[in-house]
Amino acid sequence: MPHILHIDASARPGLAGTDNHGSHSRNLTQQFVRQWRSRSSKDSVTYRDIGQNPPSFINHDWIASAFTPEERREPWMQETLVESDQLVDELIAADVLVIGTPLYNFGMPAHLKAWVDQIVRAGRTVDIDESNPVDPYIPKLSDRPRHAVILTARGGVGFNPGGEMAHMNHLEPNLATALEFIGITRLHYIAIEGQEVGGELLAASVAEALHKIEALVDELQVALGVVPTPEPV
């Protein structure tokens, strides 16, 4: 049975349409996970709210610890990497990574960047072949098919590929680079736009995104061989 890692990165704790100033990206991830489990209730989900409980930023001690071979790490180094190891373990266990994130000032929230920095780990998610200085990096998470679903909320419009503002969107490209670097190459994107505009434009964008989520759940469950949970008699 597939395992889902569900991550929310929005600084807003509530849900759009339910709470004042609620998060559209959280609404999208909840819709995705709810639809997935409505069809396959036995599939497990790990939830991490990095928007409300952000990972630590990496610092000197983290760098010294992460780049010291495991067999040579001192106890304080092991302790320094406890949080990172837990985040990496969660990611390795996942078959489907679901990330809900707003676009903040043309890029990802600091909380999400902190998570990325914690999970891109030499020896854990990527190996380094020192004999090949031209192309030394070997992704470790390509050992089995993993999918990443990136669900994004944007205040403006035109940030999709080909849009007038696409050149200013550094969120999805940044995430794609990091995830592909460690071996997660099956990436799926759904976004809503127009939060700052509101009205019919936003409503239409949300409706379209929810329709795409429903279709994507179908697509991924087929790809992963999910057996639907039988309806009760």
Distance of alpha carbon 45 from alpha carbon 221, whole angstroms: 15
R_g of the chain, CA atoms, integer Å:
19
Distance of alpha carbon 153 from alpha carbon 217, whole angstroms: 19
- To the question of whether residue 111 is assigned a binding role by annotation, the answer is no
- To the question of whether residue 10 is assigned a binding role by annotation, the answer is yes
Distance of alpha carbon 49 from alpha carbon 156, whole angstroms: 24
Handedness of CA 142, 143, 147, 153 (dihedral sign): negative
- Sequence-separated (6 or more) residues with CB below 8 Å from residue 45: 3, 4, 5, 6, 33, 37
- To the question of whether residue 24 is assigned a binding role by annotation, the answer is yes
DSSP symbols for 88-122: HHHHHH-SEEEEEEE-BTTB--HHHHHHHHHH--B
User: Are the C-beta atoms of 141 and 183 separated by less than 8 Å?
Assistant: yes
- Please state the residue numbers annotated as binding site for FMN: 10, 23-25
- Please state the residue numbers annotated as binding site: 10, 23-25
